[in-house]
Structure formats: structure tokens, C-alpha cells
Copies of this chain bind each other. A is one copy, B any other.
Amino acid sequence: MILTVTLNTALDITYHVPSLRPGSSHRVSEVTERPGGKGVNVARVLAALGHEVTVTGFSGGTTGRVLRDRLTEVPHLTDALVPVSGTTRRTIAVVDERSGGTTQLNEPGPAISHAEWSAFQEVYEDLLSSASAVALCGSLPPGVPVGAYAGLIRTARAAGVPALLDTSGAALRRGVAGRPDILKPNAGELAELTGSHDPLRATQDARRRGAGTVVASLGPDGLLAATPDSLWRATPPARLRGNPTGAGDSVVAGLLSSLTAHEPWPARLSRALALASATVLSPVAGEFDRAVYEELLPEVMVTGEAHAA
């Protein structure tokens, strides 16, 4: 199975309002609620592709119960979340139906105790023994040490399991030191990590900081991948109009799906970008249409060159 780690899981709530006006009162016309946090989103995409996937991380309180109840409804997905005494956070996405814009409100995560963090590390090590790959995704809740991802990557390496890291800020900066097999930053995270706004330079720089391969997701500009011996660009078939929410998580899912199928880099990037594109085009944020994905797959253009690292 493929393992995804979400230390800061969330119950993602989406509200539709005719028009968001600060200082006013709004009747919400539509409410949707689903399990969230990057690793949970990645797992949902992998499960939809037919992979057996296990999610771990933390969950607690009423929102944690709702989240776990909803996970039981997903075929191919196993819930191995570790219970904590705090309460899983909510995120609220307010969609303005007039402008199409989304306003995001993210609660802070629950405080994780030392004992809960230790309990998680044991569960994680056990799960690795049957994992073909692991994705470490998203922010760290309070109480989890900022170097957490570096430690989890080392544990995966010791178990012979390739690890992908997708996070931001200090967790990213410190996590890279653990030498993940794949690092998946977006343009903003890449610039924050390296100080460079030139995607090519920043991607190569990020690799030199410790990652085996860096796959940068550059929104409408597609993907840029720096492997140990080559450089690849994947370009989407056309300018896509839609909701980019979850596109990065689909990139991670595509990379893991093709990694565990032992495909070469060009095929991995095609899958990842076709999945991300199908996610952008989906009417439901973070979901993708299988038929659209398969239609886009042969249209992604991947070009490579020798690496001058």
C-alpha cells in the first residue's frame, strides 16, 4: 500500500454565498464538508485511481470523529489515524458565487503532546513495513517538533521506503535536511526555501539542499523536475480554466502512483500533470474526472535535457 501522513488533518467545509461582503451577514446557500489536510487529499486521489492507501497522522474531538466517519466511506482507503486529546481543526472555504473567488479561513490545529507524538512515531514505523512509498504532507500542528519531517524521512529510508515531502515554511526548510527522495514545492514554497524567484535556478538549488529529485509545480506553467541526472519540463495541453484547489495534491498522487509502478520520470510527470489538470477542470474542488484525466494524459508534453547540476 501507499502511506500518506497528515499530521494536521482537517475537516474541510465549503460555503457558497451569493457575494462575500465584509461586515455583513450572509445566508450560506450551500454547505459541503469533507475530510481534508493535504495527505488525506492525496490519499483520496490515489484511492480513486485504485491504489490501496493508508492514511495516518492525528485526529481528535468532534471534528476528528466526523472526519474518520467520512473516511470509512472511501473504498481502498484504510484509516490509521492516531487519536489525540485535542480537536481536529476546521477549514472554511467561502466561495463567492458572483466573483468565483474563494476566501479561506483555517483554524489552528490541536496541540499535540509529547506522548501523542511518540505514539504516532511507533504507528508510523509499523505502517512503513507494508508501504511501497510514503507522502509526508502539509503543516505541523503545535507541539510537533519543527524538524519532524526530517526524522520521519530518515525512518522511511531505514525501512527502504521512498519518501515524498510536500510542506512549506520552517517544516520544509528543516524537512529537506532529512533528504527526501522527492520534494514537491510550488512556486511560492520554492522561492521561500531558496530565496530565488527563477523557477529553474530555485528547483536546482532545492535539490542541492538535500532532495533526491525536486518536482516544482508552477501552476499554469506545469511541472519542472530536477532529478539526479536530468531536467524535465511538463507542459499542460492548454491554458486551463477552473479551480486550482487540490491540484498540488493531485500532482503528489500522480507522482506516487507512477513511482510505485516503476515508471520513468517522463511518464511520472505526464500522469502527475494530467491528474492536476483534470482536478482543475473538475466542478467539485479537489476531485477529478477519470475520463478527463485519461483524455489529457497523452496531451501533456514532456521535454528533457541533460542535467548540468
| Residue A43 lies at the interface, judged by CB distance under 8 Å to chain B | no
**CB-nearest residue of chain B to A61:** B66
Integer count of this chain's copies in the complex: 2
A20 touches B22 (CB 8 A): yes
Max chain B Cβ within 10 angstroms of own Cβ: one of A23, A99, A104: A23
| Residue A106 lies at the interface, judged by CB distance under 8 Å to chain B | yes
Q: How far is A267 from B290 in the complex, measured between Cα atoms in Å?
A: 69
B22 touches A105 (CB 8 A): no
A28 touches B105 (CB 8 A): yes
List A60-90 residues whose CB lies under 8 Å from chain B. Answer: 62, 65-66
Residue in contact with A103 in the complex, picked from B23, B27, B62, B106, CB distance below 8 Å: B23
A25 touches B106 (CB 8 A): yes
B65 touches A103 (CB 8 A): no
* A20 cross-chain contacts in B, Cβ below 8 A: 22, 103
* A107 cross-chain contacts in B, Cβ below 8 A: 15, 28, 31
- A-B contacts, 13 of them at CB < 8 A, read A15-B105, A21-B103, A23-B99, A23-B101, A23-B102, A24-B103, A25-B106, A26-B104, A27-B106, A27-B108, A28-B108, A29-B108, A62-B66
Interface residues of A (CB under 8 A from B): 15, 17, 20-29, 31, 62, 65-66, 92, 94, 96, 99, 101-108
